[in-house]
Amino acid sequence: MRAVLAYLLAPALLLVSAAATAEAAPGFRIETLAPGVHAAVRTDPPGLMVDANCLFIVNDEDVIVVDAPEATADLIAALKGLTDKPVRYVVNTHWHDDHVIGNAQWRKAWPDAQFIAHPSLRDYLPGTGAKNRAGMIAGAPQAAAQMRKQLDAGKNLAGAPISDEERTSYASDIALVADYMKVVPGTPDVLPDLGAAGDLILQRGTRRIEIRRVGRGHTEADLVVWLPQERILASGDLVVWPVPLVGSDQSHVNDWPAALDALLALKPAAVVPGHGPVLRDTGYITQMRGLFADIARQARELRARGLDLDAARKAVKLDDWHRRFAGDSPVRSALFRMYVAAPAFVSAWNAAAR
Ligand SMILES: [Zn+2]
């Protein structure tokens, strides 16, 4: 089974940038961005299931980690291969499982580590977060079984003959569901010790680490981590490649462009997105900004014309954006429909009423 998955994943791995400095555990690779600053970048092909990227910031005496993916046990092994300094702080960029579920592992490995996140995580994780997690645990294995059936039948989820790209993507989704089911059920939440409702500056020797709240976009709880000397940004899911991740209930599409403007104003040299490879220029962020600003504008205009939501959904024009984000890839096209077109318009529509 492992060999089959490895074979299916091979073409996607070839597409990954050649900047890798070390092959780490399966599923991610370590990319050194500056002395002591290492990104653990996921190598999965684009798909419905994701695990998050992670950033290690190794200082004179300690380590600060950004995010706590499902693969945290493997990340800990990789980090221990880089340094024997202890993890002092873990920053969770927001409240989704693929960014917080590894907190328990970080704490087990370094019991003195402290957890920094937006203070809303203390309410969200035991409430809505627990409900969403239960839904995911109940539904994900069924979704994976359906994908397995499609693979066996040689058909994509729409019933058409499956492409190599879809085959690779479905296989990755199935593997990520297996990882999720291995790690998530029964893992306790570790809530933030330090709530960052605004900016928080950490000085570790000569290194300055800024934990910044640039506004809400992907969720209410979005934080980013900015290293001003190295000009390195860990954006959390405010930036996700190749297609943004939007939730109709959780995201704030109308506020998102302003948050992205704040990131662009930093002029980062390297951006570690929540998902996707390290971005070496800001073109993709500018494209995301344009998408959300346009959706917000269209929602306002369609509301002003007196349309109801159903009519507005038919009238909204996203074809150009769809082409720009998806190109001729059926997988990215499906992701755009599922994670952008439907939820982003609903988010903007609801905000336009207020
Ligand atoms: Zn997220």
Asked if residue 169 is part of any domain, the answer here is no
- Compute the distance from residue 161 Cα to the ligand 1 centre, in Å: 31
Is position 253 within any domain?
A: yes
Q: Are 243 and 336 in contact (CB under 8 A)?
A: yes
In a domain, 341, yes or no: yes
CA of 154 relative to ligand 1 center, distance in Å: 31
CATH of the domain at 312: 3.60.15.10
Whole-prediction pTM value?
0.91
Q: How far is the CA of 100 from the centre of ligand 1 (A)?
A: 10
The strand order across the sheet containing 87-91 reads 22-23, 28-34, 37-42, 54-58, 63-66, 87-91, 114-117, 194-195
Q: Does the pLDDT at position 234 exceed 70? A: yes
Domain that holds residue 103: 2-122+189-352
Residue 17 has pLDDT above 80, yes or no: no
Residue 298 within a domain: yes
Name the band, by pLDDT with cuts 50, 70 and 90, for residue 4. Answer: very low
Q: Report the domain count for the chain.
A: 1
Q: 291-328: per-residue pLDDT in tens?
A: 999 999 999 999 999 999 999 999 999 999 999 999 99
Token reading at 279: 């971005």
Place of tokens 């390297």: 270
Whether residue 180 is contained in a domain is answered as no
Is 142 domain-assigned?
no
> Above 60 in pLDDT, residue 5?
no
Asked if residue 307 is part of any domain, the answer here is yes
- What is the 129 CA–ligand 1 centroid distance (Å)? 12
Per DSSP, the residues of 233-283 read EEEEEEEESSS----TTT--TTTHHHHHHHHHHT--SEEEEEESSPBSSSH
Q: 51 C-alpha to center of ligand 1: Å?
A: 10
Residue 9 predicted with pLDDT over 90: no
Ligand 1 geometric centre to CA of 199 (Å): 20
For residue 156, being part of any structural domain is answered with: no
